[in-house]
Chain A
Amino acid sequence: MSLQVANNSLRKHMKSILLRTGETCIGTAAFMLMFCLVAGVKCLGQDVAGIGVALNKEGDGIVVKQVLSGGPAALSGKIKANDRIIAIAQGDQPAVKTAGLDMSKVVQMIRGPKGSVIRLTMLSPDRENSTPQIVELVRGEIKAITAAASAKEKFVLGQAAPEIEGEDVDGKEFTLSDYRGKVILVDFWGDW
């Protein structure tokens, strides 16, 4: 396992210890850093950046679903939607295979300081019997993109929101339309 991944689990472990002992201030800072690694925002005085891809887990592998225009991945011209990320290396460290890793782990490995180098081992479905290719990218700042940037989005702005029916963590049912008449901020989130 790479140093990066080990660091991440250590941080997680520290967070839970710190929260348990009531050191919420330090605990929150550690937590915020974890969040920022995903969100790619400036945090704790350090620029945290990425390569501008939206990923999905398909089976055991990590697949690029979208290459965000203007990001390092798009500018390199070497990464396309549906390419698989087989392994990730930080700078000149050894590559770590992505097979079996949680999406959250992969996102943490891809995020890093602006200007740092990441090497991705990629497999493209376009070429038959293709051999994996190593793509080297320099992380850059990723601005949050809006629906307008993506032609493939399922929902267009100005359309009625589809109903959400489901249960909360305790199995209590509620629906989106319960809140009609209010402005609703729907946040698809995970504790990454």
Chain B
Amino acid sequence: MYPHERSLVKRLEGRPFVLLGVNSDPKERLRKVLEQENITWRSWWDGGSTGGPIAQAWGIRGWPTLFLIDHKGVIRHQHLGSPGGEVLDEELEKLIAEAEAAKE
């Protein structure tokens, strides 16, 4: 997942897109992973366990869970587990095109 996320962030640079994480690891482990895996996107730290406040508020049942939110703040897609790079790319491309069209 990290390599695909890295390339996603790089490829979509300059377009209306942002990747944000909600992380369930203990703080020290999260710090280490961010550094070792060269993770440039931001993550909320969710209290160090899978029972954290953000995961609970969002009703998360498995990790990873992904949400795609459009430029108006509406949840458009949800995946429990990665749907695979191709599916994700296609869904993102459509939503980003919508966001870009709205700006023009």
Chain A interface (Cβ < 8 Å from any Cβ of B): 19, 28, 31-32, 35, 38-41, 54-57, 65-66, 103, 142, 144-147, 150, 153-162, 164, 166-169, 174, 176-177, 179-192
A192 vs B25: C-alpha distance in the bound complex, in angstroms?
Answer: 9
Q: Which residue of A lies closest to B46 (CB)?
A: A166
Name the A residues within 8 Å of B50 (CB-CB). 56-57, 103, 190
Q: Contact partner of A38 among B43, B63, B84, CB < 8 A? A: B63
Q: Which residue of B lies closest to A158 (CB)?
A: B74
Name the A residues within 8 Å of B29 (CB-CB). 191
Interface of B is mostly: mixed
A190 vs B99: C-alpha distance in the bound complex, in angstroms?
Answer: 29
A179 touches B18 (CB 8 A): yes
Q: Which residue of B lies closest to A185 (CB)?
A: B19
Q: Contact partner of B71 among A38, A182, A186, CB < 8 A? A: A182
Q: Across the A-B interface, how many residue pairs have beta carbons closer than 8 Å? A: 187
Q: Which residue of A lies closest to B79 (CB)?
A: A144
Q: Contact partner of A154 among B17, B59, B72, B98, CB < 8 A? A: B59
Closest 3 CB pairs of A and B: A154-B59, A144-B81, A166-B44
B73 touches A183 (CB 8 A): no
| Contacts A66-B61, A146-B78, A179-B18 supplied; 17 other A-B pairs, CB < 8 Å | A54-B62, A154-B59, A155-B78, A157-B78, A159-B75, A161-B67, A161-B69, A161-B73, A181-B71, A183-B18, A183-B69, A184-B17, A186-B20, A188-B21, A188-B24, A189-B43, A190-B24
A153 touches B44 (CB 8 A): no
A144 touches B75 (CB 8 A): no
A187 touches B66 (CB 8 A): yes
A162 touches B58 (CB 8 A): yes
Supposing A38-B63, A56-B61, A184-B18 touch, asked if A191 and B30 sit within 8 A by C-beta, the answer is: yes
A186 vs B41: C-alpha distance in the bound complex, in angstroms?
Answer: 11
Supposing A144-B82, A168-B45 touch, asked if A39 and B1 sit within 8 A by C-beta, the answer is: yes
B71 touches A185 (CB 8 A): no
Name the A residues within 8 Å of B66 (CB-CB). 185-188
Q: Contact partner of A39 among B51, B58, B60, B64, CB < 8 A? A: B64
The 16 sampled A-B contact pairs (Cβ below 8 Å) are A56-B61, A153-B59, A155-B58, A157-B75, A159-B75, A169-B23, A179-B18, A183-B18, A183-B96, A184-B68, A185-B20, A186-B69, A188-B24, A188-B55, A188-B64, A190-B50
